[in-house]
Structure formats: C-alpha cells, structure tokens
Structure 1
Amino acid sequence: MDPLSQFLTGPRAQAAFALRVVMDPPFAIDVQDGAALTVIVAVSGQAWIAVEGAAPRSLGLGQAATVRGPAPYLVTDTPGRPPTVVIGAGQSCRTPAGEHLELTFSQGMRTWGNSPDGGTVLLIGTYQSTAAAGQLVTSALPTLAVFTEEEIDAGLLTLLERELTHPRLGQESALDRVLDLLLLHLVRVCVDRTESRVPSWAAGTRDPVVARALALLHQEPEAPWTVAELALRSHVSRATMAARFRTAVGQPPMAYLTTWRLALAADRLASSTATTAVIAEEVGYSNAFAFSTAFSRVYGVSPSGYRRSQGHDARPAAAVPGS
C-alpha cells in the first residue's frame, strides 16, 4: 500500500470539513484553522490565495488549489487586502476585532459567506488532522498548488458541488469520498508535472524498481527489512537498489522505512488505545524501549506524550521525506 492509499483509508479521511463559500467583494479571509490540508475549487468568479513567503496565486473559474497546513493563508478578492474575516480552530468565524460572525455569515446548510448570491463561489474541503502519515502524503504537494481547468476532472467538481448543495441521506460520507477522490486526482496531477520532479516517495513511484521497494515497505512495515532483502525481492543488486532509491526518494531505504514506521505509529497512537508495546511490534520494533527512543528522537516527545496531545503539538518538520 502506497502512502496516498494509506492516507485515504485511515482515520484522517473521515468527516472532513466541507463547505460552499459565497462571497461578494470586498473580502479577505484569514484562515488560521491549523488544518493539515485544504482543497479549494472555484465554481464562480475569482479569488486570490496567498501563503507566507510566496506571491499570491489567482484561482479562476473551474480551477482548484491545495494548501498545506498548518500555517495560515489568505483568500481574498484582490491581492494585499487586509483581513476582514478570521477563521480559527474548529472553524470559528470572527472579525479581526473578535466579533463572532457565525450567524451573520450562515447562508444555509453547508453554505457560508457575506452574500447569499455572491459572485465568487468556492467549494472548500478541509482535512483537519495533522496525523503523521497524512503529512507524509502531502509532502508530494507544495505549500500552495494551483491546478488549471484542463488538469481537473470536471465530473468530480460537479459531484462535489451537487453533494454540497443538495443534502441527502449519507451526505457526510458521500462528501468524504468525493473529497478523497478529488485529492487523489490532484496529488496524481502534481506528481506527474515535470517541474515537480523532486526527491520524495511520490517521485520514487516513477522508478519501477523503487516503486516495488516502496510497495514492499508499505505493505510489511513490521518485517525485518534490509537493503539486500529489498534488492532480492525487487530483482536487482544491492548497489542498484541503494543508488536508485536514494536518487528517487532522497534518502536511503532504511531511513525511509524508519520514517514510515514512525508515521504509522503516530497514527496508531492518536487513533487507538493499543499499548506502546503493541504498536512498537506492529511497526517493526523489537521492544517498546527501542521504539520509544526512536519516536522521541524524531517527534521530540515520547509516544505517551504524543498520544496525549493527539498529534496537535508534535509535528516533526524533519520527519517527512521530500517536504
């Protein structure tokens, strides 16, 4: 199982926040919700998206964007406009002065904005979790990626808009699945772009030998892997495996395996009541002490501390390959 499939079948994909945003100028939304990943689709009008350290990007009709968190970003009608709305944790909505806007901006079921007939309509899907395996997946995306109308499957956008605007039985589950499919599509597009050929797990899937090795590591993270065993199972020499894996992924196979094991362990710690010893065994550590030492070194907190924080305060910047 590759990291993207792991992400979309894990607890991170459940009950993603989805909303139809309807705005008339002037508007400037300062999004500080700390979400791991947000997908934004423009179905009418135009908006600008700005993240720190980069020039604002325009989002026009039929285009989509992904924004990697947890850093804040701006959605505005024109670049440089000061914020008029601040979105905080739990999707709270206030003015910069702190005045609540939840009721003022409510425009019906899953619709929000400053006008019921605003000229700019955005469909927004937010993956709130900062789970480590999710960050491993989104490392294939830049902080801000914009996708053209030609790159997007129009059928997915139509389905997403229909689910948001026509509530029916099972709407939340349907929205989760549509967002998953849209995210899968956008990550694939980003990986396939020629300018995005950077070392990462995603780039590794372009090399058939490395792709085979990645599949083995993802399917059996608990196995006692060595570079020699990976090479044998992939039908190449040890030297070839080591060289091609490092070139494609940006780190040696065993270093990547450690990152993947600890990412899976972080997810298990945040989403289950299994003991540290059980989780250690599940991801390939011989004992809880060795696991705890490795986990603390990478995440800066013990496994029990990470579990208590539910992942909110223990995101390892250096633990995600290709980020």
Structure 2
Amino acid sequence: MDILAEALESMRTGRPTSVRTDGHAPWGLRLPPAAGAGFHVVLHGSCWLVPVDSPHLEPVPLDVGDVVFLRSGSRHVLADHPGTPGEVPGPERYTKAPPIGSVVLGDDGGGGARTSLLCGNYHLDMARPHPVVRQLPEVVHLRARDGRHPELSAAVRLLGAELDNPRIGSEGIVPALIDSLLLYILRAWLEDQPAEAEGWSTALRDPAVAPALAAIHDTPSAAWTVESLAVRSGLSRAAFARRFTTLVGEPPMAYLTRWRMTLAAKLLRDSDVPLLTVAARTGYSTEFALARAFKREYGIAPGGYRRQARAA
C-alpha cells in the first residue's frame, strides 16, 4: 500500500490549477491566500519568494530548477528582488493558450533579466490535513543545485520542455506532470529528513510502525486492536503503542479512527454509495455507528456532509 499517495488522494478536492509566469526585471507578483497548497517551479532565471503571512521566515532565493511548496497556500510575493513590490495582475493580463495560460510581468522590451516560472495550486482539504502533510514546514524549498532528487529534476525539465515548445499531446502531458509533481515534492522532502528524525519521514520506513500503517490502510474495515497491530510490528503492545505515537503523532486507535473518517468523507463527497456501504467499508457495523463516529469528528451527520459537499 502506497500510504503517501493514498493520503494525498484522500485530501484532494479538485485538480491542480497552474499558470506560466514570465517576469522581466523589475517585476513582482503578489499572490493571495489559496485554498490548498501552493507551488512554484523555476523554469528559467532566478527570483525571490517573500512570505507575507509568516514574517518570521526570511525571503527565499530561488534558482533555475528549484521547486518551492507552500503547505497552507499562504500569501507571498514572487519578485526579481526582495524589495520589489508585488502587483496583482487583473484577469485581462492573463493569456489562455494550450497547454496552460500565462501572464507577463514587467517590461518585456526593457532588457531586464527574464525569469520564467510555473505557478500553481493543489486543491487539498486543509481543514483536516493528513498528518504527513500537517507535519511539513510552511515552506519547503528543494534546490536543484543540491542534486539529491534526480527524479524531481527530471520532471521539472520535462515540464519546461513541454511549456517552452508545446506539441501534440502537451495538453494531456502537462497536467499529468503537474499532478505527479506533488508526490515528487513530498517524497523528496521526506527522504531529506535524517534517519533519527521523529515523524512521518521515519514512520513510513520504520520496521515496527510501517507494517501497522500498511495494515490500517490496506484493510481499514478490519477489527484492528492495538494488540493485533502490535503482532505485525514484532513488539509488545506497550512498546508498539509508544513507538507508533512518537512517530505518527497520535495513538494507533486514534489514527485508525482518523483514517476511517477520512475515507468515509471521501466516499460521501465522491460517490453515491449508500451510508450502509460507507459504514461497512470503514469498519462500522451499522449506519448509526458510522453516524456517531462521523459527527464526533466532523460535527455534522454523514448525510448532511454529503449534501454540503455536493452544494459546494
């Protein structure tokens, strides 16, 4: 079971949106808060990312090939220099052209240094983020010059080639690459964490915790207990519970309930299956048992949640 891919899929509320941004110095782009997570890929040149909602964070220099991920879609400015003010382009400034739209900032005839970026947003349910996303720093900066993530760099190069020279198939290739980029970003960050770190970077490869997580994700409807999960880990009940809580951030049964409710919410949003089926797939014997657990987590009954999701 690919827990990272499944966790991200459970949070998705829509497909990514993106735009190509070309800046000619001096230029600045002010980006408002977004629902979900933001991302930027530097295709050509260099620039700065200046956090607005996180004044404790220093401006981040970005070079060609760099990728930056903003966990909560917070306000920020992209500019040729940290002191350049950011503008909010009106809709008339955006050009619609396959495979994605574009916007040009600054004076493209003035001879200023050019920067080209892919800017976008992953539509994720950040009201209840999976812990693997919640544990990320606000800004994740993956530098191309470090050379540690060849697959991510290859994806960036492919994106750049398709955007620089759109050809037959580009309209299907570019969205797929942008979609895959999220997994590449998170995998790269997780693999960058030291082996002794606590958290999901270790939990996903820990010989005791990883099998228990795989069991929960593979068969969430099973009647799991701390004891039965501990058997898979090869540890005693108490030792397993301590290890799991330390790395995952919550006890085994709390995580099991969280994951069941996450799956229930996705089924309610994305399908028309009866509530009894939702209950059976998430480990509850009756609709009443599901409704009680769901309302405790979401503050609303499953039927009401489904109606709200469809109306949104």
State the partner residue of 2:62.
59
Q: Mark the CA change 1:301 to 1:11 in structure 2 (over 3 Å): closer, same or farther.
A: closer
Work out the CA distance in 2 between the residues paired with 1:170 and 1:309.
37
Aligned to 1:189: 188
Q: Deviations over 1:54-113 (max 9, x none)?
A: 33222122211111124433323333544411xxxxxxxx5xxxxxx2232327432322
Q: 1:265 to 1:82 in 2, by over 3 A?
A: farther
Q: Partner of 1:279 in structure 2?
A: 278
1:307 Cα deviation (Å)? 2.8
Aligned in 2, Cα 1:148/1:11: closer, same or farther, shift over 3 Å?
closer
Task: Tell me the distance in 1 between the aligned counterparts of 2:290 and 2:47.
Answer: 46
Unaligned runs of 5+ in 1: 86-93, 95-100, 314-323
1:1-323 superposed matches below 5 A: 1-7=1-7, 12=12, 15-32=15-32, 34-49=34-49, 50-53=51-54, 54-79=57-82, 81-85=84-88, 94=89, 101-106=90-95, 108-109=97-98, 110=100, 111-114=102-105, 119-130=114-125, 135-149=130-144, 150=146, 151-153=148-150, 154-194=153-193, 199-310=198-309
TM-score of the two chains, using structure 1 as the length reference: 0.79
1:224 Cα offset (Å): 0.7
Q: 1:306 to 1:173 in 2, by over 3 A?
A: farther
Q: Quick one: which amino acid aligns to residue 53 of structure 2? A: E
Distance 1:252 1:291 in 2: 20
Name structure 2 gaps, 5 residues minimum: none
Q: What per-residue deviation string (whole Å, max 9, x for no partner) do you get for residues 140-199 of structure 1?
A: 522211111123432211111123334345444423432343322221221123369765
Size of the aligned set, in residue pairs, is 299
Identify the range of structure 1 (8-17 vs 64-73) with the bigger mean alpha-carbon deviation.
8-17
Q: Is the 8 A contact 1:38 1:66 kept in 2?
A: yes
Letter in 2 for 1:113: V
Contact 1:3 1:133 in 2 (8 A): no
Going from structure 1 to structure 2, the CA distance change for 1:55 and 1:208 (only over 3 Å counts) comes to same
SS in 2 for 1:30: strand
Q: Letter of the 2:222 partner, please give it.
A: A
Tell me the amino acid that sits aligned with residue 112 of structure 1: V
- Matched to 1:67, the amino acid is L
User: When the two structures are superposed, what TM-score results if normalisation uses the length of structure 2?
Assistant: 0.82
Q: Which has the larger radius of gyration?
A: 2
Structure 2 counterpart SS, 1:298: helix
Rounded to whole Å, the distance in 1 between the matches of 2:223 and 2:36 is 31
Deviation for aligned residue 1:254:
0.7
**Equivalent pairs: percent with the same residue?**
34
1:26 shift after superposition: 3.6
Conservation of the 8 A alpha-carbon contact between 1:40 and 1:123: yes
